[in-house]
Chains A and B, each alone.
Chain A
Amino acid sequence: MGKTISEKILSNKSGEDAYAGQIVEAEVDYVMVNDVTGPIAFREFEKLDMPAKTDKMVLIPDHYVPNKDVASAEQAKLMREFACRHNVGNYFEVGRSGVCHQMMIDEGFAAPGRLIVGADSHTCTYGGIGAFSTGIGSTEAASVFATGHLWFKVPETIKIELTGSFKRYVGGKDLIIQIITDIGVDGATYKTLEFTGPGVANVSVPDRLTVANMAIEAGGKAGIFPYDDLTREYIKDTVKGRYEPVHADADAVYSDVLRYDLSELESMVAFPHLPENGRKVRDCDVRVDQAYLGSCTNGRIEDMRIAAEIVRGKKVAPWVRFIVVPASPRVFNAMLDEGITKIFTEAGAFVSGPTCGACLGGYMGILAEGEKAVSSTNRNFVGRMGHKDSEVYLAGPAVVAASAIAGKIVTPEEL
C-alpha cells in the first residue's frame, strides 16, 4: 500500500513500516525550544540527570527578547545559562536571533525529509519545505533532549489539490484562511494537510511556509508541500548537511481530498476571535488603529517586498500605528540592503528588529481596550494581542500594508 509524505518520513525515522493510526517511536533530527517554553523543558530535563543530545538541540530566544522587563530578563538568562552548562552550540543570542521558525529555516536546520519537533505550536512551518515538523510540549522537548526520540501517532492525511495560480496581491495567507474557514479550526485535528497538484509549482516557497505555518490553526499536526525545484533553490545556500526529500506514493491513502483553484481565491481577512472566521476583504468595512506586519507567518523578506511596493510614496493613515517586525536578522538586513526599511519609515511606520513582539501579546505593539488591529500574524483569539476587548483581524501582507495606508481594512486595489 502506498504512503503519504507523513507516513514515509515517520517510517524512515522509526524503522517501522508505518501507516496512519500506528504509534511509532521515531528518531528526531532537531528539537527546538524558545524562551517561553524552554524553562519548563530545562527544569524537567535536569531532573533526569542524563547527558544532553546537544547536536539535536536548538535554543532560540524570541518571545520576550530583547528583554521586555526584569522577569523576562531572568527568563532569558535561564536559557543562556542552560546553553552554557550543557554546551549547546545552537543557541542564538539577541542580535543573531529572530523568530524561532524563521531562524530554523535561515540557519538551515529545517530541510526536506527531516523530522523536527519544537516546543512552539507553529513548528509545523517547515512542512513548507517538505519536512515533517510539529509542535510539542516542554516536557516532551526535555525527553528529546535526553533520548533523541519521541512517540508519534502517525497522522491521517487530508490531500489538498491545487490548480491555477494566485491573482495579484493574493497569496498563501489568503489560501490558508480560506481552507481554515472551510474546514474549521478543528477540521484537521491530529491530521496532516498535504498539498499536491499542478498549482503547487505556482506557489512560492515563502507562501508555502505561510500555509504550513497555519496548519495548526485547523488543528493540524503538520502541513506539508512536496519537494521541487523551488524548494531546492530556496534552501541551497543555507541548509545544513545532507537531506533526503520524500515524495508521496501515487496510491497513498488519504482521509479526504479538497480542491482549490488558486485563481479563484480573493484577498481574505479572518475576523475575531477565530481564524475560521474568514471573509472577503472587499466585503468588510473595519476601521483599524494598528497594522502589524511580521511574525513566523508573514515576516519574511518576500512579505516585506509586497508591502513596500504598496506603501512606497504613501503615508500611513494619521490614526494608525503601522508596526513592521522582520522575522530574522537575514530579513532585517535584506530590508536595509533593498531600501525597504526606508520606504516604511518614510511612510510613517515603526520598524523594529526581529522578535515575536506583539503577535502573542508580548510587547512592542500591545492593543488597548476597544482597539482593532489588522495583522499578518496567525491568531486572533480573545485578548491575543492585548486587552481582552481588543480585536485582531488576520490578513496577508498586501492587505496589511494597504490597510495601514487607508486606515481601514482594504485590498491594495481599493487604495
Chain B
Amino acid sequence: MESIEGRIWRFGDHVDTDQIIPAERLLAENLDHLNDYIFEKVRPGFSSQIRKGDIIVAGKNFGCGSSREHAPLSLIEAGISCVVAESFARIFFRNSINIGLLLVECKVDSAEGNVIVVDPDKGSIVDVEDGKVYSFPQYPKFIGSLISAGGLMAKIKGER
C-alpha cells in the first residue's frame, strides 16, 4: 500500500458517529453527498475547509455510538484519506475496513495543520513539520487480507 501524505485535523476522545454525521442527514437522497454535513453540529463549516487527502487525528474511541455506515462513507466522500486515532470503536472499525477507509491505531501528538506521512506497510508516521516519528503495529492477517481484497464486497465477489 502506498504512503499517504496529508494535512491533519485534530479531534479529541470519544468522537461519536452523531458528531460525524447527524441522524437527520441519514436519508437515502443524501447518500452521494454526505460530506456536505460532516461534523456540522460540532464544527460548522468543516466540510468546506477539507482538502482532498486530509487526515483526521483523534484520541480514544473514535467512531463510537451508532452503527451508521454513513459515518465512514461521509469521511471518504469528503476526501479524508486516513483516520489516525488512539483507538477505534468496534462497529466503526469494521465498517471502515469494509468500505475502504484507512484507519491507523496510533497516538500522535502533531498539531492541527501539520503535514504527516503515513506508511501503512512500514507501520510508521512521520510529522513533516516537527520531524517526530511514530510507529504502529500491522493489522492482523485476516484484516490485512480484507483490506488488500478491496473490502468485504470485493472479497465476496472474488470468492464466487
Contacts and interface: CB of A to CB of B under 8 A. Distances in A.
Contacts of A219: 61, 64, 89-90
Interface of B: 14, 16, 18-19, 22-24, 26-29, 31, 41-42, 60-61, 64-70, 73, 87, 89-91, 94-95, 98-99, 140, 142, 151-153, 156-157, 160
A255 interface: no
Given A121-B66, A381-B18, A388-B42, A39 B142 contact: no
A85 interface: no
Contacts, number: 126
Nearest to B159: A147
Contacts of A50: 160
Contacts of A44: 153
A197 B108 CA distance: 42
Given A37-B68, A137-B91, A74 B28 contact: yes
Contacts of A142: 153
Interface residues of A, number: 48
Given A72-B27, A136-B91, A361-B22, A37 B61 contact: no
Interface of A: 23, 36-37, 39-40, 43-44, 47-48, 50, 63-64, 71-72, 74-75, 78, 119-121, 123, 135-140, 142-143, 146-147, 151, 185-186, 189-190, 219, 221, 274, 360-362, 379, 381-384, 388
Given A186-B14, A219-B90, A383-B18, A47 B27 contact: no
B156 A147 contact: yes
Contacts of B26: 36, 63
A74 B29 CA distance: 8
Given A71-B27, A139-B95, A383 B90 contact: no
Contacts of A186: 14, 60-61, 64, 87, 89
B90 A361 contact: no
A360 B152 contact: no
Most buried by B among A64, A140, A362: A140
A136 B94 contact: yes
Nearest to B96: A137
Nearest to A120: B67
Given A381-B16, A383-B41, 9 more contacts: A37-B68, A39-B28, A48-B153, A64-B27, A71-B29, A143-B152, A185-B14, A361-B24, A382-B16
B33 to A, nearest CB: 13
A137 B61 contact: no
B142 to A, nearest CB: 5
Given A71-B27, A382-B41, A221 B95 contact: no
Contacts of B99: 137, 139
A161 to B, nearest CB: 24
Contact of A137 (B23, B65, B98, B156): B98
18 contacts: A36-B23, A37-B67, A39-B31, A43-B31, A63-B26, A64-B27, A74-B29, A120-B67, A121-B66, A135-B91, A136-B94, A137-B91, A139-B152, A143-B153, A185-B14, A186-B60, A186-B64, A190-B90
